[in-house]
Amino acid sequence: MKFTLHIWRQKDNKSQGSLVRYDVDGISEDMSFLEMLDILNESLIKKNEEPVAFEHDCREGICGACSMTINGIPHGPERLTTTCQLHMRKFKDGDTIYIEPYRAKAFPIIRDLIVDRSAFDRIQMSGGFISINTGSAPDANAIPVPKYKADKAFDAAACIGCGACVAACPNGSAMLFTAAKVSQYALLPQGQAERGQRVLNMVAQMDKEGFGGCTNHYECEAACPKGISVEFISFMNRELFKASISEKITK
């Protein structure tokens, strides 16, 4: 297969970027999208040009490192699929493909297709945990969790922290990411002690990082490679409302 690629090249955060055209040929339909980029990069090094910098690691759709916008859609056209799991058989021979970094105010570009998603770490740090020191846990079966609640908590916990939700949202909102973590813990008995504080602190941090608010476009759910439901955003809003009456932000 043959493709015409237009890829965003930007040396660093201070430089101007632009789309650069590359033609690739001899691509097999069994290749993943990133393997197609590997081939391009090998050919660039051979020509003494710098390879396109992009983030990737596990290449099995779970680490959340891969982050790029393909033809305007984070992770590309295939539903429930990260870029690393997207295969070239989903494209037509001769297609023109535009590849850009995630675009969001809270995700500054570092180089080419790599953006800085450390804001997610800081949201997590502000409350995305259950405060339990190692050694002080009771027997695991001492806290029964109804299966449907455990399953629901898992649906939220499946988030891989890739940031596609932010890139897809016209407001650059991180509501889906934050709601997934808030919901996971709010649904479980273990998370009750810090339930109110957690949502207040995490939402406050999210705002501080420069993410926008949710205005119900639902683009996040459509782009999420793990299919995390916007239901969790309404769940978080309810949690936030309850907590804002009874508790104070501590961080």
Partner 1 sequence: MNLDAKIPSGNIKDKWDNHKFDMKLVNPANKRKYKILIVGTGLAGASAAATLAELGYKVDAFTYHDSARRAHSIAAQGGINAAKNYQNDGDSIWRLFYDTVKGGDFRSREANVYRLAQVSANIIDQCAAQGVPFAREYGGTLDNRSFGGAQVSRTFYARGQTGQQLLLGAYSALMRQVGLGHVVLHNRKEMMDLVVIDGIARGIVVRDLITGKIESHVGDAVILATGGYGNIFFLSTNAQACNVTATYRAYKKGAGFANPCYTQIHPTCIPVSGDHQSKLTLMSESLRNDGRIWVPKAHGDKRRPDQIPENERDYYLERKYPSFGNLSPRDISSRAAKQVCDEGRGVGPTGFGVYLDFADAIKRLGKHAIEERYGNLFEMYERITGEDPYTTPMRIYPASHYTMGGLWVDYNLMSTIPGLHVLGEANFSDHGANRLGASALMQGLADGYFVIPYTIGHYLASNKIDKTINTDHPEFIKAEQDAKEKINKLMGIKGKKTPTEFHRELGKLVWDKVGMGRNEAGLKEAIEKIPQIREEFWQNLNVTGEAESLNTALEKANRVADFLEFAEILAWDALERDESCGAHFREEHQTPDGEAVRNDEKFSHVAVWEYQGPDKKPIRNKEELEFENVHLAVRSYK
210 binds partner 1 (CB under 8 A): no
Nearer to partner 1 among residue 37 and residue 175 (C-beta): 37
Per DSSP, 212 falls in state B
Number of residues engaging partner 1 in binding (CB under 8 A):
81
Q: Which range touches partner 1 (CB under 8 A), out of 16-24, 46-54, 94-102, 228-236?
A: 46-54
Nearer to partner 1 among residue 120 and residue 214 (C-beta): 120
195 binds partner 1 (CB under 8 A): no
- Which residues are registered as beta bridge partners of 115? 109
Q: Which range touches partner 1 (CB under 8 A), out of 17-25, 140-148, 170-178, 230-238?
A: 140-148
Note whether 174 and 165 are within 8 A (CB).
Answer: yes
Residues in the chain: 251
Instruction: Give the burial class of 206: count Cβ atoms within 10 A of its Cβ; 0-12 exposed, 13-18 middle, 19 or more buried.
Output: buried
Nearer to partner 1 among residue 217 and residue 231 (C-beta): 231
What angle, rounded to 10 degrees, do the helices at 231-246 and 195-208 form?
Answer: 110
Least distance between partner 1 and beta carbon 224 (Å): 14
39 binds partner 1 (CB under 8 A): yes
Task: Collapse the DSSP code of 99 into the 3-class scheme (helix H, G, I; strand E, B; otherwise coil) and give the result.
Answer: strand
Task: Collapse the DSSP code of 50 into the 3-class scheme (helix H, G, I; strand E, B; otherwise coil) and give the result.
Answer: coil
Nearer to partner 1 among residue 159 and residue 243 (C-beta): 159
